[in-house]
A = this chain, B = another copy of it.
Amino acid sequence: MAGKRRYEDGCAFAQALDLVGERWALLVIRELVFGPKRFTDLKADLTGIATNVLSQRLTDLEQAGIVVKKELPPPARVQVYDLTDWGRDLAPIFRVMGRWAARSPHLKTGWPLSVNAALLSLGAMFDAARAEGFAAGIELRLDGQPFAVTVRDGRLTVDPGLHEAPDVVVTGDQNSLLPVLYAGMPLNDAMRSGLRVTGDVGVLRRFATLFPMPAPAPLPAG
User: Which of chain B's residues have a CB closer than 8 A to the CB of A85?
Assistant: 217
Docked CA distance A99–B93 (Å): 11
Q: Does A8 touch B at the CB level, under 8 Å? A: yes
Contacting pair B47 A109 (CB below 8 A): no
Contacting pair B101 A13 (CB below 8 A): yes
Q: Does A190 touch B at the CB level, under 8 Å? A: no
Q: How large, as a class, is the contact surface on chain A?
A: 35 or more
User: Which of chain B's residues have a CB closer than 8 A to the CB of A99?
Assistant: 12
Instruction: Give the oligomeric copy count.
Output: 2
Q: Does A222 touch B at the CB level, under 8 Å? A: yes
A 72-106 to B, binary, CB cutoff 8 A, 1 in contact else 0: 00000000000011100110111011111111111
Contacting pair B65 A9 (CB below 8 A): no
Contacting pair A11 B93 (CB below 8 A): no
Docked CA distance A126–B7 (Å): 25
Contacting pair B117 A19 (CB below 8 A): no
Set B9, B48, B220: member contacting A117, Cβ < 8 A: B9
Can you report 9 A-B residue pairs in the complex whose CB atoms are below 8 A from each other?
A: A9-B111, A10-B113, A11-B113, A11-B120, A13-B97, A15-B104, A19-B101, A65-B219, A93-B93
Interface residues, chain A, with chain B CB atoms under 8 Å away: 5, 7-17, 19, 21, 23, 26-27, 30, 47-48, 63-65, 68, 84-86, 89-90, 92-94, 96-114, 117, 120-121, 124, 217-220, 222
